[in-house]
Structures are given as C-alpha cells and as structure tokens.
Amino acid sequence: MTSLNGDVAWDDFNPREYVRRNYLFRHPDDEEILSLVRDHFSDHFRKSSGRVGSGIDVGAGPNLYPALALLPWCDRITLLERSLPNVRYLREQRDSFGDIWDKFWDVLCKEEAYRALGADPRVRFREAVDVRKGDIFDLGRRAERWDLGTMFFVAESITESLDQFRLGVAAFMTALKPGAPFAAAFMENSKGYYVDGRQFPATGIGKEDVRSALKGYSDDVCIRRLGTPDDLREGYTGMIVAYGRRDG
C-alpha cells in the first residue's frame, strides 16, 4: 500500500535526532548544494534590485541552511512546516540558533552579500524569520505569494506517491510570484528514511521527474545531479538541485 503524506504521523518526528544524524558534520553534497544556491541568488540579485520583500522555505523541517541562504535577499522569511516538533525546534533556533549551523554559514560567506551580514547572522535571522505551522498542499489555497523561495528535500520525502510528489512541487511553485528566483533540492531514488527508530516515506525520483514536475512553472531552470559514492549517505543514489526563476 502506498503511503501518502496524510497517513504519516509527522508529530512523531524527532528534529534533534534528525539534525544530529544529518547536519552534525558538513557533508560534501550539502556544501555543493549550498554553493550552487548561494551563487544563483547572488547572480540574480546583482542583476536586479538587490532585495525583495518576502521569502519562503517550504517544509523547512529542522534544516536551517535554506533559510540562511535567503537571509541577505529579503526582509521577511517564512519557514512553513507541518510537524509540531519541527515548528517548536525552529522557533527555538530562531531566537539563537546553535553553532552547528555556523559551518554552513561559512560556505555562504564566500559571497560578499553574506559576508556583509557579519560572521554571526543571528540577530538578522531573529528579526527576519517567521515560523508558521502549515501544510505544503494548502499553499495553493492561500492568497499570499512570495518573492523568493526554497524547498529542500520535501516533495519527494513526504509520500510514496509520484502524483503527490508532483502536487508538492506544483504547490511550491504556485506560492511564488512571477519572476521569483527559487531553489529546490531532492533526494534521488530515496528509499525512505528512519528518524529515532521511526520510518518516514519517500518517492524514488530522478532528474526527469523533477523536470516534468517543474514544466509549466519555469522555462528558466537549471537541473543538476550531484553526489559520488564517497559522498552519499545511506538510502539514496544522489541529490538533484533545481534553480531558476518562476515564469511570469
């Protein structure tokens, strides 16, 4: 039986265990993703006004580095998350995030716009971030739209249904204003994952699935597969990063 997003006990998710297993060290694949996203946003805003009003990280989970990647570029950042334990974790981290995230900030600071915020971005993070409890699939029913967006390891990591994966990507893209720059990351061929002894679902997707899901939302998109056997953690075959601009 296919496990759908609504079947999952997301309030049993343990964010601290997830962070300990995935972000205690800076893995090469995360560093490469963060570098690509950093350069994409920096290049975009160098050619435009340099700042927008609002950004969103959809399905933030306990991962702070997508929000850090948004930090120089928008006045307000919404972290949208369904799981109540993750929401609580994010609100704690908003007030003063742990030093585990400093090594990810160091990657971003190779670009001047990030360095300009200083070696410690905690004050700016606290001022900018708003944590909201919400479901990705409700985004299309909201009137609100954002100027900039990220979605990391979400649409393929909340369901075993390819159709629901596509709906998740569509919900993310629909939440963005025309012309909004975006970045999304996906696990390739994920078999699902365990957190603190509990199993969570995933959809086994590849580059062409990502391309198909984005069709109609962005003609200006770069899709890259990352990862070598030495870089990878158990349970997937690589990572896929898509970045570009929402069609106008």
pLDDT tens digits, one per residue of 223-238: 999 986 555 567 789 9
Asked whether the beta carbons of 56 and 149 are under 8 A apart, the reply is: yes
User: What is the distance between the alpha carbons of residues 168 and 95, in angstroms, rounded to a whole number?
Assistant: 29
Model pLDDT, residue 233:
64
Which one, of 120, 30, 22, lies nearest residue 62 by Cα? Answer: 22
Model pLDDT, residue 3:
83
Given a cut of 80, whether residue 145 has pLDDT beyond it is yes
Mean pLDDT of 104-111: 97
Q: What share of the chain is helix, strand, coil (3-state, %, to 5)?
A: 40, 25, 35
37-79 pLDDT tens trace? 999 999 999 988 778 999 999 999 999 999 999 999 999 999 9
CA angle 11, 66, 228 (to 5 degrees): 100
Model pLDDT, residue 118:
87
Mean pLDDT of 196-222: 96
Cβ neighbourhood burial of 130 (10 Å; 0-12, 13-18, 19+): middle
Model pLDDT, residue 229:
55
Given a cut of 70, whether residue 1 has pLDDT beyond it is no
How sure is the predictor about 2, in pLDDT bands with cuts at 50, 70 and 90?
Answer: confident
Task: Identify the weakest region by mean pLDDT among 95-99, 150-154, 226-230, 233-237.
Answer: 226-230
156-195 pLDDT tens trace? 999 999 999 999 999 999 999 999 999 999 999 999 999 9
Average pLDDT over the chain reads 94
Asked whether the beta carbons of 74 and 54 are under 8 A apart, the reply is: yes
Q: What percent of the chain has pLDDT over 90?
A: 89
DSSP letters of 133-151? E--GGGGGG-S--BSEEEE
Mean pLDDT of 199-203: 95
User: What is the distance between the alpha carbons of residues 87 and 170, in angstroms, rounded to a whole number?
Assistant: 23
How sure is the predictor about 20, in pLDDT bands with cuts at 50, 70 and 90?
Answer: very high
